[in-house]
A = this chain, B = another copy of it.
Amino acid sequence: MQTLHVELGDRRYPIFIGSHLDPQALLEPYIKGKQVMIVTNETVAPLYLKHYVTALEALGKKVSTCILPDGEKYKNIEHLNLIFDALLEAGFNRDCTVLALGGGVIGDMAGFASACFQRGVYFIQVPTTLLSQVDSSVGGKTGINHPLGKNMIGAFQQPQVVLADMAQLKTLPPRELSAGLAEVIKYALLGDAEFLTWLEEHMDKLVQGDETLLAEAVYRSCAHKARIVANDEKEQGERALLNLGHTFGHAIESYLGYGEWLHGEAVATGMVMAADLSCKMGWISQNDLERTRKIIARAKLPIVCPQIPLDDFLGYMAHDKKVLNGQLRLILMKNIGQAVITKEFDIDLMKQAILENQQS
């Protein structure tokens, strides 16, 4: 087991990364009060819920559960409210702990609920997908979607502790493992050329679910994100780099309807578009663009999106949070392993990069 500490001043917390982790021993120091609400979904509950209920009850906790339907389309205010209902119906007070057992949607919703319930209670994350292990376990971003935009309503809420158990990835559908690898690749592309070389060496085994290599990839990804977040917790600057591929990706997700493509799939194609625009701007070489396409394809991720009318695509991009005072900023690559946030790009080249990475 490896331990990574996310350094956020008085809200420093550990991420435990390994296989077959022991929740009873690892979680005990991080639970506040006697009441623990496990928030999970209908897919994860039959697989892992009992394991965690048993572990927490062995610690003498009063454990309640809130089982939500599975899917991004339930990441809304109505289903958030079901968590509040469960907390209050179980008589929870402000000295309680909310534990998220599931992927990114569950982490976002349970985390946001824990930030708001009684104006803030303890939060623990047990991410059960690769995507949530490398993404939402670091950074404290929580929230819900609104019909007019993704993650428009939320809070920064840091967990007390995160358990990232590779053994739980065994039950993850291959498509979701690949979606997680999209974010892993993102860390390499935006800030770590050496990590990209490592991924090029090991991608085939990663796709096959090698737990030791996956643990290493999770550790490196979280360490990378943790460094950036520690420098810029509230996303005033550097943290925006983590959105490489996301502005394009959000447009793809929004057009197709949330849940049609997985978030990681949309980000994958979004990164190709960002790399292509970076290449068209003369910042990265054609060879770097092909390396980008190839590592994404080897992770079994899409490198083109379905045909989307340009006006629709641009409209969804304008709804993205990276629009500052009406001016679109993008995360592009000055080099492989060196992303920048910039509004200094050619809008026509951007349109070409969107159109040329769609299915013909």
Contacts and interface: CB of A to CB of B under 8 A. Distances in A.
Contacts of A141: 119
A154 B94 CA distance: 12
Interface residues of A, number: 34
Contacts of A95: 324-325
A77 B143 CA distance: 15
A122 interface: no
A88 B33 contact: no
How many protomers of this protein does the assembly include? 2
A120 interface: yes
The 9 closest A-B pairs by CB, nearest first: A88-B148, A119-B154, A116-B153, A93-B323, A77-B81, A94-B321, A84-B153, A88-B146, A119-B156
B33 A84 contact: no
B155 A93 contact: no
A34 interface: yes
16 contacts: A33-B325, A77-B84, A84-B146, A85-B148, A89-B148, A93-B321, A95-B324, A116-B143, A116-B153, A119-B141, A119-B143, A119-B151, A119-B154, A119-B155, A120-B156, A120-B234
Contacts of A81: 77
B152 A155 contact: no
Nearest to A321: B94
